[in-house]
Amino acid sequence: ANQYAGRTIFTPKEIQSLYKRFKDLDVSGNDILEYEECLAVDELRANPFAPRICELFSEDGSGSLTFTNFLDMKSAFSKKASPEVRLLGG
């Protein structure tokens, strides 16, 4: 958690909680949220732009997220993020 704390707006404790959520969503167990798993993220479930948001935060445009991508996305949706970060998506 400490390795991510310096690059995100989250505390180590929040990062541990987010990692647990990431692992819960990772039904396939491959340490990557596949596109379909990404669509199950709380902030995206009712969002009509969810497919595009997943694609934007994935490294290759596939919509699949690593934990780092997941943190970037969660940062962009966080109320703790500055308006610039929320607008730009990380």
How much is the pLDDT for 78? 83
Which residues, 6 or more positions from 30, have their beta carbon under 8 angstroms from its beta carbon? none
How would DSSP label each residue in 44-69? GTT-TTHHHHHHHHSSSSSS-B-HHH
Q: What confidence score (pLDDT) does residue 90 get?
A: 46
On the CB side of 84, how many CA atoms lie within 13 Å of its CA? 0
Give the tens place of pLDDT for each residue, 38-70: 999 988 988 999 999 999 999 999 999 999 999
Q: Which helix (H) or strand (E) holds 20?
A: helix 12-25
Which class for 77: exposed (0-12), middle (13-18), buried (19 or more C-beta within 10 A)? middle
Q: pLDDT for 4-39, tens place per residue?
A: 777 788 999 999 999 999 999 999 999 999 999 999
- What's the pLDDT at 52? 95
Report yes or no: 23 and 13 within 8 Å, Cβ to Cβ.
no
More confident residue, 26 or 85: 26
The pLDDT, as a whole number, for residue 9 is 85
Query: Rounded to two decimals, what is the model's pTM?
Result: 0.85
